Chains A and B, each alone.
Chain A
Amino acid sequence: MKKFEKLTSRVVPLPIENIDTDQIIPARFLKATTREGFGDNLFRDWRFDSNNQPKADFVLNDPKYSGEILVAGKNFGCGSSREHAAWAIQDYGFKVVVSSFFADIFKGNALNNGVLPITVSEEFLEKIFAQVFANPEAQFEVDLEAQTITILATGESFEFEINPYKKSCLLNGYDDIDFILSHKKEIENFEQTRPFSFYR
Chain B
Amino acid sequence: MGKTLVEKIWDAHVVKREEGFPDILYIDTHLIHEVTSPQAFDGLRKRGIPVFRPKQTIATADHNVPTLNQHLPIREELSRYQVDMLTKNTKEFGIELYGLGHPFQGIVHVIGPELGITLPGKTIVCGDSHTSTHGAFGAIAFGIGTSQVEQVFATQCLLQSKPKTMKIEVNGELKKGVGAKDIILYIISKITAAGGTGYFVEYAGSAIRSLSMEGRMTVCNMSIEMGARGGLIAPDETTFEYIKGREFAPKGEKWDEALAYWKTLYSDEDAQFDKVLTFDAADIEPMITYGTNPGMGIGVTQSIPPTSEQPESEQPSYKKALEYMGFTDGESLLGKKVDYVFIGSCTNSRLEDLRQVATFVKGKRKADDVEVWVVPGSKQVEAQARAEGIDKIFEEAGFQLREPGCSACLGMNEDKIPAGKYCISTSNRNFEGRQGPNARTMLASPLTAAAAAITGKVVDVREYI
List residues of A whose CB falls within 8 A of some B CB.
Answer: 15-18, 20, 22-23, 26-28, 30-35, 45, 50, 73-75, 78-84, 86, 101, 103-105, 108-109, 112-113, 122, 126, 163-165, 175-177, 179-181, 183-184, 186-187, 190-191, 196-199
Nearest chain B CB to A162 CB, angstrom units? 12
- Pairwise interchain contact B250-A198, C-beta atoms closer than 8 A: yes
Q: Which residues of A contact B28 (CB under 8 A)?
A: 199
CA distance A140 to B79 in the complex (A): 42
CA distance A108 to B22 in the complex (A): 12
CA distance A170 to B52 in the complex (A): 26
Chain B residue at smallest Cβ distance from A106? B145
Q: Which residues of B contact A50 (CB under 8 A)?
A: 419, 437-438
- Pairwise interchain contact B193-A180, C-beta atoms closer than 8 A: no
Q: Which residues of B contact A103 (CB under 8 A)?
A: 194, 197, 227
CA distance A31 to B410 in the complex (A): 13
Q: Which residues of B contact A164 (CB under 8 A)?
A: 20
- Pairwise interchain contact B316-A81, C-beta atoms closer than 8 A: no
CA distance A2 to B288 in the complex (A): 45
A33-B38, A103-B194, A187-B15 are known contacts. Are A81 and B431 too (CB-CB below 8 A)?
no
- Pairwise interchain contact B154-A181, C-beta atoms closer than 8 A: yes
- Pairwise interchain contact B154-A177, C-beta atoms closer than 8 A: yes
- Pairwise interchain contact B145-A180, C-beta atoms closer than 8 A: no
- Pairwise interchain contact B79-A31, C-beta atoms closer than 8 A: yes
A74-B194, A75-B194 are known contacts. Are A105 and B129 too (CB-CB below 8 A)?
yes
In the complex, whether B433 has a CB less than 8 A from a CB of chain A is yes
Name the one of B64, B121, B293 contacting A78, with C-beta atoms under 8 angstroms. Answer: B293
In the complex, whether B263 has a CB less than 8 A from a CB of chain A is no
Q: Interface size on B (CB < 8 Å)?
A: 76
- Pairwise interchain contact B412-A22, C-beta atoms closer than 8 A: no
In the complex, whether B216 has a CB less than 8 A from a CB of chain A is no
Chain A residue at smallest Cβ distance from B40? A83
A80-B129, A113-B147 are known contacts. Are A180 and B24 too (CB-CB below 8 A)?
yes
Nearest chain B CB to A137 CB, angstrom units? 24
Q: Which residues of A contact B131 (CB under 8 A)?
A: 81
- Pairwise interchain contact A78-B148, C-beta atoms closer than 8 A: no
In the complex, whether B119 has a CB less than 8 A from a CB of chain A is yes
Nearest chain A CB to B235 CB, angstrom units? 14
A104-B227, A184-B155 are known contacts. Are A196 and B39 too (CB-CB below 8 A)?
no
Chain A residue at smallest Cβ distance from B291? A18
Chain A residue at smallest Cβ distance from B144? A81
Chain A residue at smallest Cβ distance from B26? A190
- Pairwise interchain contact B148-A196, C-beta atoms closer than 8 A: no
Q: Which residues of A contact B396 (CB under 8 A)?
A: none
- Pairwise interchain contact B15-A17, C-beta atoms closer than 8 A: no
For the complex of A and B, list the 8 residue pairs with the smallest distance between their C-beta atoms, beginning with the closest.
Answer: A83-B145, A33-B38, A109-B145, A112-B147, A81-B143, A31-B78, A198-B258, A198-B250
Chain A residue at smallest Cβ distance from B79? A31
Q: Which residues of A contact B257 (CB under 8 A)?
A: 196-198
Q: Which residues of A contact B438 (CB under 8 A)?
A: 45, 50
A86-B145, A112-B148, A183-B15 are known contacts. Are A27 and B412 too (CB-CB below 8 A)?
yes
- Near A by CB (< 8 A), chain B positions 146-177 give 146-148, 150-151, 154-157, 159, 161
A78-B293, A187-B24 are known contacts. Are A34 and B156 too (CB-CB below 8 A)?
no
Chain A residue at smallest Cβ distance from B314? A17
Nearest chain B CB to A79 CB, angstrom units? 6
In the complex, whether B308 has a CB less than 8 A from a CB of chain A is no
In the complex, whether B352 has a CB less than 8 A from a CB of chain A is no
A-B contact pairs, 8 of them (CB 8 A): A20-B293, A27-B63, A31-B82, A79-B129, A104-B227, A113-B147, A183-B155, A191-B156
- Pairwise interchain contact A15-B316, C-beta atoms closer than 8 A: yes
CA distance A183 to B159 in the complex (A): 11
- Pairwise interchain contact A78-B261, C-beta atoms closer than 8 A: no
CA distance A81 to B258 in the complex (A): 31
- Pairwise interchain contact B36-A79, C-beta atoms closer than 8 A: no
- Pairwise interchain contact A163-B432, C-beta atoms closer than 8 A: no
Nearest chain A CB to B193 CB, angstrom units? 6
